[in-house]
């Protein structure tokens, strides 16, 4: 349980850093439009902090770490969050700086972010399967 609370805490700090970066970077650059940087803060809070708080609650009463699929979930899900957020930051910085992108570069950023989303989706499925298996063990 402590491990998941620590992970949740790290995501909370990263979310706060993301929020401050968005605010200060856009202010420094004199940017007043819409940018993907504004969503980094909430993504990290919801997909990172909140998910691992819930996982910590489940881990307290179940033996999740004994379930192999759960260990796979941990790596897949965290990789998905990291990849998604990094690409959001990259796209957001490019938007704020007004950097023109070729269609290929834009598609590459979207594609990598898409892989991150796929990993997130797979991670959620693995988590649900893990919780279902943990419920079977409890009986």
Res 139 pLDDT > 80: no
Cα–Cα distance between 45 and 50 in angstroms, integer? 6
DSSP string, 8-51: HHHHHHHHHHHHHHHHHHHHHHT--S--THHHHHHHIIIIIIIH
Task: Look over the chain and give the mean of its residue pLDDT values, rounded to a whole number.
Answer: 95
What confidence category does residue 25 fall into, taking pLDDT thresholds of 50, 70 and 90? very high
Domain boundaries, the chain: 2-138
Q: What is the pLDDT of residues 73-130, one digit of tens each?
A: 999 999 999 999 999 999 999 999 999 999 999 999 999 999 999 999 999 999 999 9
Average pLDDT on 7-13 reads 98
pTM above the 0.85 mark? yes
Q: What is the maximum alpha-carbon separation in the chain?
A: 59
pLDDT for res 123: 97
**Contact predicate 83/122, CB 8 Å:** no
Angle between helices 103-138 and 51-61 (to 10 degrees): 20
């Amino acid at each position: 349980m402590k491990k998941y609370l620590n992970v949740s805490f790290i995501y909370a700090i990263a979310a706060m850093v993301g929020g401050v970066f968005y605010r200060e970077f856009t202010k420094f650059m004199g940017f007043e439009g819409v940018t993907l940087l504004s969503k980094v803060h909430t993504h990290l809070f919801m997909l990172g902090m909140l998910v691992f708080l819930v996982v910590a609650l489940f881990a307290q009463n179940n033996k999740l770490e004994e379930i192999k699929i759960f260990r796979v979930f941990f790596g897949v899900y965290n990789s998905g969050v990291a990849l998604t957020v990094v690409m959001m930051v990259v796209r957001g910085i490019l938007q704020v700086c007004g950097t023109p992108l070729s269609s290929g570069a834009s598609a590459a950023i979207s594609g990598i972010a898409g892989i991150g989303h796929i990993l997130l989706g797979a991670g959620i499925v693995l988590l649900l399967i893990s919780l279902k298996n943990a419920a079977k063990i409890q009986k």
